[in-house]
Amino acid sequence: MANYKLYDVPMRDRDLAFIDTETTGLFLDKELLEIGVVRVDAKTLEIKSQADIKIKPSHIELADPEALRVVNFDSEEWERDGIPLREAVERFLDLVKDAILVGHNLAFDWMHIQNAIESCGLEPTYFYKGLDIFSIAWVKFIEDPFLEKMSLKEMANYFGIEIEHHHRAIDDALATYRIFTKLIEKPEP
């Protein structure tokens, strides 16, 4: 069971950490391949840091071939740039310490990350509550005929945001951040 440090940092002093993961499949028995993190100041929404963490898979033979195709998995790239899971999780936990996680379909990313944290015998360093931009978009745009699925790519197109490499964790985390800023814009008086 996760041991979250709930109130060590006042809510108003927490940064937001926009995250995205890429995996070897949709289910929790699949491995993390990549984690993207964009940490921003919650008050100004200025980017403080960003990172793309590639993880060397231990059992690529168990990967869903469609998942590997979607993320453009290249074994040479992952062998060259990837790091072991424990090192990746430790780096992630360092990057998101005391932050509030934000994602598009956050539950998917959160569950895969939590699974990796537990498999490494580590504890979360981030706040136990998070924000999902899908939920925010659903509330704001449920009647909008141009947002049928409210996927990350569909929302990016809607707001005129280019995703350089869709289904690469850092690019999708940056897109999530940019969409979030559009979703929370206050209407003109």
pTM of model > 0.85: yes
Give domain status of residue 188, yes or no.
no
Tally of domains within the chain: 1
Q: Residue 96 belongs to what domain range?
A: 11-183
Give domain status of residue 89, yes or no.
yes
pLDDT in tens, the chain (189 residues): 566 666 678 888 899 999 999 999 999 999 999 999 999 999 999 999 999 999 999 999 999 999 999 999 999 999 999 999 999 999 999 999 999 999 999 999 999 999 999 999 999 999 999 999 999 999 999 888 888 889 999 999 999 999 999 999 999 999 999 999 999 985 544
To which residue do tokens 């509030």 refer? 100
**CATH, residue 68:** 3.30.420.10
Give domain status of residue 43, yes or no.
yes
